[in-house]
Structure 1
Amino acid sequence: MAQQQSVHQLYRRLETIGRGAYGSVHKGVHIPSGNVVALKIINFDDEGGGDDVADIQREVSRPASDRNSHQNVHKVALLAQLRDAPNITKYYGCHLDGPRLWIAMEYAQGGSVRTLMKACRDGILEEKFIVIIVREVLIALSYLHKAGVIHRDIKCANILITDRGNVMICDFGVSVFSTGGNKRHTLIGTPMWMAPEVALGSQVVPTYDHKVDIWSLGITIYEMVKGMPPHAHVMDGFKVMNLIQKTKPPRLNEEDGSKDMRDFVSHCLREQATDRLSADELLKTKWIKSAARTNVSILKELIMRYDAWKQTGGTRASIADPLAWEEAEENE
């Protein structure tokens, strides 16, 4: 029997493109094919150990109902089951390297929306780009929610753009299956994008479903329009969660964009989850339908803008911007 190739025979690691709570992300090359990939490397020694890392690859083939609860094991298994999902970063495989786990993913040349915003005037996106990004994210969320998956961390830093303008959701590190009508009650995600029912935290035992992603999408649009999510000036996450509970849902102002976009955001940012539209319903709104014939290639303009900005001394947001990398990595 031929000896299995080591990860170093399969992949060559290039520059680091991000760091987060669960490891680092690198641009890499798949040596046999020469294809560029993203390599997420998790060091279990840094996490304190306690798990048998050899179990991780076996977990990939297990059904969701029989999955180990360890976050990184769960993540790999989830990615494997989403190989054919639309507008989701493609998963190529995982490999063990001593105490490290290498996860090979599709590489998005353009980086995250959060990164691309840095090269835009006033750090905000024009509506003609926002509507296309949101349309493509909704396609992904529609698939995920029908599959019983809640992403739980939708934000600009977790939306990637490829060199062709394709939009992909990344970072499934806190995602979860919620099938059979079961609701979740775990306090997890990034505070500024949390839905009110998640931000309740330890005050009560909150329950929630896939509608938390719809709230986060509304906040993500606000982020693209304003440059920052609501409460971005508040550094304490618990204070942010308290504000989310006590203040009315954010709204865009008339000068922020079209009425159709503002109406769309209001459909997402409803205090009661049952009042929020689903991903499929949002795809049928006037704002999204207005861009039905616009190709994703329009988003390549953002990449060209960013490349020009970087040539004049701009710094890549994945390394320099703490908000863009709070609990997430760009090419996850």
Structure 2
Amino acid sequence: MDLSNTRLGGRYLLGPIIGTGGMSDVYAATDELLGRDIAVKMMRADLARDDTFLERFRREAKNAAKLNHHAIVAVYDTGQTDEAHGSVPYIVMERVHGQTLRDIVRDSGPFPLDEASRVMAEVCRALGFSHEAGIIHRDIKPANIMITNTGAVKVMDFGIARALSDTSSAMTQTAAVIGTAQYLSPEQARGKSAEARSDIYAAGCVFYEIATGQPPFSGESPFSVAFQHVQETPLPPSQVQGMNLDPDPALALDAVTLTAMAKDPSDRYDSSADMAADLQRMAEGRMPLAAQAYTDEPVQEPSTSHLPVAAPTPAPADEPEPAPDAPRTEKKRRRGWVVALWIIAILALIGGGTAVAWNWFGGSDDTEQTSEQVQIPDVSGQPRDEAMSALEDAGFDVDIEDRPDAEIPRDQAIGTEPGFGSSLPHGSQLTLLVSSGQEVTDVPDLTGMTTQQAQQALQDAGLRLRSNVSEQASESVDEGRVIEQTHPSGSQVSKGTEVGITVSTGPEDVRVPRVTGQSRDDAVQNLEDAGFEVDVTMVDSSEDENRVLSASNEGTTQPRGTTITIEVSRGNQFTMPQLVGRDYDEVYSTLQQAGWRGGPDRVNRTNVNQLDPLAVGRVVGQSAQEGETIDRNAPITVRVNVLGIP
């Protein structure tokens, strides 16, 4: 159903649909209260009919909203709308303009290796941030990662995949597997709970794809792809057709990608931060730590690399390698796998696929296969003792972990790990998470920090930076630095509180007044009153002494405090008038009127004999030509006719 032009929550006006998936529609929208562009994701009505799903979806949306990181699409709000067919949840998110990695690779091919490394380093930093907050993405794939029009990396759909995995609907579980088969970790394919290293595995798959242009595994069905994730070793990415890498970049690419994609989670990177660090080294042209153990030897072609992660996985003992002369047997076995996997897919669609896939993919030993599977009950909100009793009565060994929580009262259950709705063998251990109440912390002093530094300082203190950062001009605080904060430094607030900051945009821009032609004193005063510094340069000029001849940036807009240079006349020159043709008696007065300050003795006369009595006394030459600028006290020489034989 298209809900365009619908208003949600009294403030979110939905525009056109800008994205559609198997589980939701995404609308361009406007937050009419704040006047900003947003995106609203509406879950499909048929998936929203399960009360259990609704509760988990709301909780996971709240978790996602806690993730305030520049590389994570911000979640602003969550809610639900009542339609004729029931309550439908929605999530209000930051609207990002750009392209997904899926679209970029599809339209333009693989990324250059250094750019692919840079992008995935940023993705892993975002994952590391979410993992520290206790949130696993569970659905990392190229379609959930965007490059904005400004080149920034944005990871989307935090928390939503987890909400889907918690529902007990078999069809929903199957849809989740189908949607992410190419990036599904082996443990998830076996039916185990996802963990932080499951995201690392998926990030390795994405890195493989954007660097080579193809995913590490492909097949006729999602379950055949999932099977490969469990049992098969991917072709080292450097050996994909068309890569043509030098030995060192090839080794680096294989080491990072295949370390992240190790079958055993304990063989992968310890954390997303470690993977991000290795990717950053690659982006800078350095060798990642995953390959350093092998750099003492000459770098070989990728096919002969000593990377343990690139080595083929040994075949199981009960599955001997086929003889080289038996291709027909191998082809039959391969067809048998495909048929079996399609059977798994059909069983999954009728609700039995999870258990079958678990056994088929080798997810449990013989004891586990025969153990009774018990579903974890929902104990959230129950008192500690009641929750523990309920879990023990269900047949679980319970370990209790206290965690601060701003919403759930002290000594009440937050939930369990794994989450409710999951199934474990009878007698398995699980963790009951119990609220220790609100935890307070001191607000750090953020003044003088950059926005990024302030965000890190708040994160270290267990606080969050408000997404809307205010800006204000300042003459005393450098541009990009914090001027003030909403909560005083040293004050105590609940952990998770949002703290707002105001950041300097630098000095305010003001217009430089026009001062040319003014006296020096007036010009300096006017410029200083406008907020500028003044530098005076004296120059030779025929203009009046202390007259401003020019001013830098006059009439333009400049930051307050900028230095303006003015040129001021010394008044020590004058412009020579026309003396030729005048009577000698007029020379002195003419010079005085033009601004010359010399005395009569500074006028030198040179006589020129002339037979024409009418020309006697007339000036026929001058030492400085008309219009020439010379010193006001310079001597002047004129040539004057006298009666005589030339």
Provide TM-score, normalisation by structure 1. 0.68
Q: Who is 2:110 aligned against?
A: 124
Deviation at 1:247, TM superposition (A): 1.1
Q: Who is 1:17 aligned against?
A: 18
Moved over 4 A (4+): 186-189
Separation in 2, partners of 1:52, 1:139: 32
Establish whether residue 174 from structure 1 lines up as the match of residue 174 from structure 2.
Answer: no
Q: How does 1:103-114 map to 2 (within 5 A)?
A: 103-114=91-102
Judge which range, 189-198 or 7-16, deviates more: 7-16
Q: Who is 1:279 aligned against?
A: 272
Structure 1 contact 107–162 (Cα < 8 Å) conserved: no
Q: Who is 2:77 aligned against?
A: 93
Q: Who is 1:77 aligned against?
A: 62
Are residues 146 and 250 of structure 1, via their aligned partners in 2, closer, same or farther at CA, if it must alter by over 3 Å? farther
Instruction: Give the number of aligned pairs.
Output: 255
Q: Who is 2:147 aligned against?
A: 161
Separation in 2, partners of 1:95, 1:220: 32
Separation in 1, partners of 2:101, 2:9: 31
Q: Who is 1:36 aligned against?
A: 37
Q: Who is 1:252 aligned against?
A: 237
Are residues 229 and 81 of structure 1, via their aligned partners in 2, closer, same or farther at CA, if it must alter by over 3 Å? same
Structure 1 residues not aligned, in runs of 5+: 1-5, 57-67, 177-185, 294-332
Structure 2 contact 217–234 (Cα < 8 Å) conserved: no
Letter in 2 for 1:97: T
Letter in 2 for 1:247: E
Partner of residue 191 from structure 1, selected from 181, 184, 193: 181
Deviation at 1:289, TM superposition (A): 2.5
Separation in 2, partners of 1:96, 1:269: 38
Are residues 281 and 12 of structure 1, via their aligned partners in 2, closer, same or farther at CA, if it must alter by over 3 Å? same
1:240 counterpart SS class: helix
Instruction: Provide, for residues 109-166 of structure 1, a one-character-per-residue CA deviation record: whole Å limited to 9, x for no partner.
Output: 003111222331xx32222321121111111111122222221111110112223222
Instruction: Provide, for residues 88-109 of structure 1, a one-character-per-residue CA deviation record: whole Å limited to 9, x for no partner.
Output: 1101112332233332101110
Deviation at 1:211, TM superposition (A): 0.8
Separation in 1, partners of 2:226, 2:44: 30
Identity %: 24
1:17 counterpart SS class: strand
Instruction: Provide, for residues 7-60 of structure 1, a one-character-per-residue CA deviation record: whole Å limited to 9, x for no partner.
Output: 27522322322212322012222234442211101243x23624299xx6xxxx
Bigger Cα Rg = 2
Are residues 235 and 31 of structure 1, via their aligned partners in 2, closer, same or farther at CA, if it must alter by over 3 Å? farther
Judge which range, 186-195 or 243-252, deviates more: 186-195
Are residues 200 and 38 of structure 1, via their aligned partners in 2, closer, same or farther at CA, if it must alter by over 3 Å? same
Q: Who is 1:330 aligned against?
A: none
Separation in 1, partners of 2:33, 2:162: 32
Structure 1 contact 249–270 (Cα < 8 Å) conserved: no
Letter in 2 for 1:281: D
Separation in 2, partners of 1:104, 1:208: 26
Deviation at 1:212, TM superposition (A): 0.9
2:14 counterpart SS class: strand
Provide TM-score, normalisation by structure 2. 0.37
Q: How does 1:304-319 map to 2 (within 5 A)?
A: none
Deviation at 1:268, TM superposition (A): 0.8
- Where is the strand percentage greater, Structure 1 or Structure 2? 2
